[in-house]
Every structure is written in C-alpha cells, then in structure tokens.
Structure 1
Amino acid sequence: MSTTDVSSTPKIQQVHAMKDNTTTIDPTTVRLADITIDPGIQQRADGLDSATLEDYRRALDTSPAWPFPPVVAFRDGDEILLADGFHRLRAAGDCGRSEVRAEVRTGARREALLYAVAANADHGLRRTDADKRRAVETLLADPEWAERSDRWIADQCRVTHPFVGRVRKALVTVTSEDQPEADVEALVTVTSEPPAKPAPKVRKTADGRTMNTANIGKRQPQAEPQDPDAPAPTTRRRPGDPSPAVVAQQAMIDAGTAIREVTRHRETIQQHPETAPQLVRAAVAMLAWLAPLVEQEGEAHA
C-alpha cells in the first residue's frame, strides 16, 4: 500500500500544519483490516452515535463508491492508527465494505491523538460540550502537554482558552506512587477565597499609642474550679445544634461529593487504564478519612 511523503519537519509540527490545511495528503485505498482502532484516541465522550451510524449506513448502501471524505490515519511502521473517521469506519464495516478511502499520514499514537482532539470541529457530527471537555482533558492528562498554556491547548482542541482554564481548575489531581491507601492524597483545586476577618476596633490614646477596644466592657469567662473526684462531664447537644442524623447526612453528602470528583474522570480511566487503581485507592482513602469524623460527630451530639 502506497503512502504520500510528508515534509521532514518534526512530527508534532507536521500535525499542526495538517490542521491548518497547509499540507496536502492524497487519499489512498486502505483495507479495513489494516487499520487499528484505539478507543483512547476516539474523542466522543458518549461513544459512537447510533443515529449517525444509521445515516452513514444508508449512504453506503446507496452508493457503490466511497461517499464520504477520507478518514485520517497515522502510519508508524506496519501499524496504521485511525485518528478521524470512527463513525465512517464502523458504518463501512457494518455494510460489508472491505476498503475505505483514507489520508495516511506519518506519525505514531501521539501524533494521532493530537490530531484527534480537534476532529469534527468543522465537519461530521457536531461536538458536544462533553466531547470538547474530553479533548481538553486528554491533553491535560499528558505530562508534557499539561505544561503548555491554556491558549496552546485551546488551539489544538479548537475550543476557547477560558474553557480550557475552567477544565484545568476543575480537575482532581491524584498523587500516588503505588503507595499504601493511607498515603494516597486527593488534591482538589479551590477557587474561592476564605472570608476576610473583620478589622479590629482601635482608638488612639493620649500619648499617641493605638489601643484595641474590641473587648472593652466584655466580661471575660472565668474557669470554674474542678473537683478531681468528679466524673468526666458528658457533652450534650445544645439547643440549635444539628441532630446526629443531620450531621451524619451532611458528612455523607461531603463524601459523595468527593467520590463524584474522582469518578467524573472516568474518561481518564478509559484512556489510561493503569491509573484506575490509583483513583480507586484515593476514593477509599477519602471514605476512610470521613468515617471516623461521622462517628465522632454522632457521639458528640448524642
């Protein structure tokens, strides 16, 4: 199978040029059996769309020739990785086609992935916000690409840089080097500022000194003498304090929020299965941390 030569620039720069349509690749006929489908490269958050597949099957059934734009794939040695055209390729297989028209470019999985994050920005099934988020999170999951600016990532994914900023802030970073559960930390980006403390009340004295007058006139509590033989005091719920049930319910809500922050990155698990144990251990560690707090609160308000 023949492929068209591309420029000798670095591979990533080639991908940039391809997205800008400055490099022309002549389509060629490729056997479906020779194309590798990597689910981690596919950028649809909810997978393939059944209605779109049905439309493509009808078009293939009524046209003996290839009725779509060529799919885009990247060749690395003997492997050809699909980067754009997952619906077209699936529909072709469903209709019994053995060949497709494809633009075969030079590059490995990394180049295919960088191309895929902008796929369907201008053609095909319109991307949803979830699709765009998946594309941004794909680049942020890469240690090298995550160091790039929001504008650079936005250009690659064909989204706005404020959108990239929101996704970056919302990400939960799990730090684990195959450590025990007790050592797993879940770091959540906090965007709100702590409430400001009220300014102290001060006045000038006759000699020019500054005096804090906030506590003037307030009666200072005095410690009552304790009987060493008296039994330990029992903490009881005061009027207005939440009931143990309310405390426990709020703690579980907090736990659920923490778990959702972890599970919302299911796309990262799909793309990088090796990270799944880290995320699971982080969720378990969160629950282990919250459980004694719930028990303490329940005893304190009994």
Structure 2
Amino acid sequence: MTKRPQGQGASAPTSTSPTPIKLPINGLTIDPEIQQRTRVDEALIAEYAENIGDWIHAAPIVVFSDGYSRFVADGFQRTEAARRAGLYEIPAIQFNGTRQDALRYALSANATHGRRRSREDLERAYATAVREGFCQAADTECVASLLKCSARWASELTKLAREAAKIARDAEIQRLAEDGKSQREIAEQVGVSVGSVNATVQKWNTSKTERIDPVAPPLANDYAQGDTAPEPIIVEEIEGDDLAAIRDETDKLHAETAAPAPATPAPKPPTAKDAMHAAHRVTGLLGLVRQALEQVEDAEVSLLESDARILIRELRTATDRLVARFGAEEVGHA
C-alpha cells in the first residue's frame, strides 16, 4: 500500500489560512538547518516520487516568505520527491514570515504526520530551540509546547539541563547562607520556597561534615624543614628500674624493626663487547712496551740502573697479576 503524506503538520492551517498556491520548486529555499530530520529517508522519497499523483494535491508543503526568499518549513522530502518526478511547481501554503518563523514552525512540523520522529529528531529539534533562544534549556513546559511532544519526552530532553540548573541553584543558596542571609531572604532572591532552602542547607551541612576526615598525628619524618618537632619523651629514672637495660632493649627493638638497607646491586658480568674492548687496550699497551724495550736496548748504556730496576719490578708485578688470575700454565702457553 502506498504511503500518502497527510496535512501540514501540528500547526496545520485553519479556515483563515491562505489557500494553497503553486510555487516553482527552483524558487524555494531549502535550508538544512531548518530541516529537523536527522537523516533523509531515500526509500520514502522514491516511493513519493513514484506515486506523485496520489498525494501531490492533497498534501501541500508549508513555506514562509519574507519578500525575498521562500523558506520551506514543512515538506522537505515531498519537495525532493516532486523534483525527482520532474515537476516544475508544487502546491504550497505560504505564510508571511522570516527564516526564524520557518525554523520555529519546523520544530513541530512532523508531530502529527509523516514518518514518526526518532529520538535523534527530537534531540535535534530541542537543541535548535535552545540555540535559537525559543525556550530555556530546562523549561520542560516550553519544550513540550514548542516541539509538540509528550511531557515524558520533554522531561527526558531537559533532564541534564534541569540537573545542572539545580546544582547551580543549590550552590547559590549555600553562598547566600554563608553570607548570613536568612532562609526567607534566600527563598525570595533565588525564587524557591523556604522549605527548599532549608532542605538544601541541611543537605549541604551534612555532606560537609561527612567530608571532614580525622587527621592522624604526623610522624617524625613528616615535619617540613624549619618546623619544630615535638620534644622527645624523657624517661624518668625510678628506684629499682634498670634504666640502662631499658634503653639497650629499646635500641635493640629499633634495630630489629628498622628497614633493611637497600642491597648493593651485584656488578654486571662483562659482556663479549666489553672483553673485546679490554683485549684491544691490552694489545695496544703491549705494543707500547715492546717499543720501549727496543728503545732501551738501543740506549742501554744511557739507561740508569735505578730506572732499569723500576722497569723490571713493574713488569714482574703485571706478570704476577696475570698469573694469579689466569694460572701459570695458561699464561705460559699464551
């Protein structure tokens, strides 16, 4: 069964409304911000275009004219269907008004006809109404009237705004109470009942008391630099007490409960890369030693005996260290 558009929406013209006229489709202003549908129903447009003769004269669109532009306020998908069907003109009911008038009308255009409005459609219309200043974000009655939606939907749409407004109102009540205002004065200034003011103040004071946590005495290490630490407890010596033994036992307990000193990390074993670098350094030093010995042989007469003895001692010390580390047999084979 073919769907057929019905009427002009929630604000359908009455007996005093203008008579439908035919308007050129190319002369209409299709403003995406006026359209309150969140998505275009391509299947529905195709069906309307295919059966254009069944509804075109019975369901005129609604436009608002400011003398320069004709803003479509209701019938965006019907207008597109007529264009796809190849029509030059489309029946329309025209009101005198501005773009804002068209926008306000569009908020409730699909309340009683066409595809049922989705949550996203209603949320878009609500956001438009608030943005354009048609109603306050927390005004449930205004939203229900403007969008032509149920009270339940209006309450759902304004929920977050009403919660935010209550938080701001409660904060203002508390501020005025702390300034010394009487509850009657606060009620008159904020615009609520004295009972509401009293309940808000009591709730605030209760929550403030619950937020106060007991403060534990600071430890010795918690005193900042420059603060005065408490005086140490002096143990008074009483006859019969072994004060020295008591102090020794106390020191022993402190030592047992003290946190152990952090262990010194074990040295990392040398890697193959480290060993290679060490071998290169030793090889280089040996080359220097050979050069020095050749120079000594060439200048044996000029080398002092004391210097020769020092050289021999240092060479023996280096050899002994190598023997102690690697063994005499390995060093002998090297």
Normalising by structure 2, report the TM-score: 0.46
| Residue segments in structure 2 that go unaligned for 5+ positions in a row | 1-9, 171-202, 226-334
* Corresponding residue to 1:145 among 135, 149, 167: 135
The CA RMSD over aligned residues, in Å, is: 3.7
Q: Structure 1 residues 227, 191: closer, same or farther in 2, change over 3 A?
A: closer
> Higher strand fraction: Structure 1 or Structure 2?
1
> Which has more radius of gyration?
2
Q: Which one-letter code corresponds to 1:57 in the other structure? A: A
Q: Please give the alpha-carbon distance, in whole angstroms, between the structure 2 residues aligned to 1:157 and 1:66.
A: 26
Q: Please give the alpha-carbon distance, in whole angstroms, between the structure 2 residues aligned to 1:123 and 1:65.
A: 13
Q: Please give the alpha-carbon distance, in whole angstroms, between the structure 1 residues aligned to 2:144 and 2:90.
A: 31
How big is the shift at 1:170? 3.1
* Corresponding residue to 1:135 among 97, 103, 125: 125
- Residue 74 of structure 2 is matched in structure 1 by 84
Q: Structure 1 residues 24, 228: closer, same or farther in 2, change over 3 A?
A: closer
* Corresponding residue to 1:120 among 110, 118, 121: 110
2:26 equivalent to 1:51: no
1:36 partner SS: coil
* Identity rate, percent: 27
Alignment length (residue pairs)? 179
Is the Cα–Cα contact under 8 Å of residues 140 and 168 in structure 1 kept in the other structure?
Answer: no
> Higher helix fraction: Structure 1 or Structure 2?
2
- Residue 269 of structure 2 is matched in structure 1 by none
Is the Cα–Cα contact under 8 Å of residues 30 and 101 in structure 1 kept in the other structure?
Answer: yes
How big is the shift at 1:64? 8.7
- Residue 32 of structure 2 is matched in structure 1 by 39
Q: Please give the alpha-carbon distance, in whole angstroms, between the structure 2 residues aligned to 1:84 and 1:59.
A: 19
How big is the shift at 1:169? 3.9
Q: Which one-letter code corresponds to 1:35 in the other structure? A: L
Q: Structure 1 residues 190, 156: closer, same or farther in 2, change over 3 A?
A: closer
Q: Structure 1 residues 117, 22: closer, same or farther in 2, change over 3 A?
A: farther
- Residue 146 of structure 2 is matched in structure 1 by 156
Q: Which one-letter code corresponds to 1:223 in the other structure? A: L
Residue by residue, what CA displacement relative to the aligned partner does 1:131-180 show, whole Å, maximum 9, x if unpaired?
Answer: 112111111112353379321221120113443343234369xxxxxxxx
Q: Please give the alpha-carbon distance, in whole angstroms, between the structure 2 residues aligned to 1:57 and 1:125.
A: 16
Is the Cα–Cα contact under 8 Å of residues 28 and 103 in structure 1 kept in the other structure?
Answer: yes
Q: Which one-letter code corresponds to 1:121 in the other structure? A: A
Q: Which one-letter code corresponds to 1:36 in the other structure? A: T
More contact order relative to length (CA 8 Å, sep ≥ 6): 1
Is the Cα–Cα contact under 8 Å of residues 52 and 125 in structure 1 kept in the other structure?
Answer: no
- Residue 73 of structure 1 is matched in structure 2 by 63
2:105 equivalent to 1:109: no
Q: Structure 1 residues 20, 133: closer, same or farther in 2, change over 3 A?
A: farther
* Corresponding residue to 2:164 among 160, 172, 189: 189
Q: Structure 1 residues 20, 104: closer, same or farther in 2, change over 3 A?
A: closer
Q: Please give the alpha-carbon distance, in whole angstroms, between the structure 2 residues aligned to 1:189 and 1:148.
A: 9
